[in-house]
Amino acid sequence: MWSPLGMMNSKNWCKASPKRKAGQDPIFTSIKALTFSTLYRNQFPWDENPLLTFGPHQLVRFFEYDLYLNNPFPDLRNVCAYQPRLFSTHAPYATLPTSIKDSGCKIVYICRNPMDMFISLWLFSAKLRDKNRESLSLDEAFDKFYHGISAHGPFFDHVLGYWKASQENPNKILFLNFEDLKEDMDSHLKILAMFLGVPFTDDEEKQGVVEKIAKICSFENLKELEVNMKGVHTSGVPHTHFFRKGEVGDWSNYLTPFMIECLEKLIQEKLNGSGLTFKLLSKTANNVASPRS
């Protein structure tokens, strides 16, 4: 498995830094805007939500692509304006140090179906390519993805690592599907809030707080905010690159019938007996579930 230097550096802090408050600071993979707005909803006026002036990646910072990018031992005590602190990582579960696994910190993992994830990754990577370098063709990228060649390890190993851990320890790891969030944001926001220890009160639900968070954190709204339409992330990636369509089933506009067949077989093979299900939501295949052994 290949990992960026920042990810390797970040393990130094997880293992050795005396400044970390283990057991208080959740670590998140994506789902930044929703988590930020849910966890901190009572720490700022509603019409002053920091998401209106800062991008999600600025508010919930990456270990490997931000904090540890150029510094193996950054001071993390004051990188978050709110408590408890939120961080983000792409690290596979197997590579997380025991200082995280055995601590009281909580992990929220969000997964996207492999077909949409592959297309999104391919198009995103093309934007990052140097103008003097030719982008990978769809066929080349598909071959690499199919054979498990990816920046943070094979897709299915990554997903199943967190999935199995969430089944074994549901109080520590919340596993969410992107497709489920798109289908029913409100219900999953309540699940997220309960998991984080900040459940919505009856008054909040009556006042429409859940719906307000869902609206401000919707992909469509975030994409149109001025802060996300300009500027560059600390990694050098323009903020606009993080927003494309946010749709379910867009893979059907790119993948060939042969690619679809290969991925469907691979999904069945990799998920066999795991209990994990992917919603593809397309004309070709509505759902690919893990067959029970």
Domain ranges of the chain: 5-289
What is residue 199's predicted lDDT score, i.e. its pLDDT?
A: 98
Euclidean distance between CA atoms 25 and 19, whole angstroms: 12
pLDDT value, residue 270: 96
Domain 5-289 has CATH 3.10.20.30: no
Round to whole Å and give the CA distance between 134 and 9. 30
Helix ranges (H only) for the chain are 5-16, 32-39, 56-59, 98-101, 114-128, 138-146, 155-168, 178-183, 185-196, 202-206, 209-216, 219-224, 257-271
SS3 state of residue 277: strand
Give phi and psi for 83, each to the nearest 5: -125, 145
Would you give the DSSP letter of residue 291? P
Q: Where in the sequence numbering do the catalytic residues fall?
A: 90
Give whole-number Cα distances, 2 to 81, 145, 253, in Å: 32, 14, 30
Give the per-residue pLDDT at 54. Answer: 83
pLDDT tens track, the chain, 293 positions: 444 444 444 455 455 443 333 333 444 335 888 999 999 999 999 888 898 888 787 788 778 767 787 778 887 877 788 889 888 888 899 998 888 898 889 999 999 899 998 988 888 776 666 666 677 899 999 999 999 998 788 999 999 999 999 999 999 999 999 889 888 999 999 999 999 999 999 999 999 999 999 988 887 777 767 666 666 655 555 655 566 666 788 898 899 999 999 999 999 999 999 999 998 864 444 455 444 33
Name the percent of the chain lying above pLDDT 70: 74
Cα dihedral 35, 41, 42, 46, rounded to 10, equals 160
pLDDT digits (tens, 9 = 90+) for 99-143: 889 888 999 999 989 999 898 888 877 666 666 667 789 999 999
What are the φ and ψ backbone dihedral angles of 175, each rounded to 5 degrees?
-105, 120
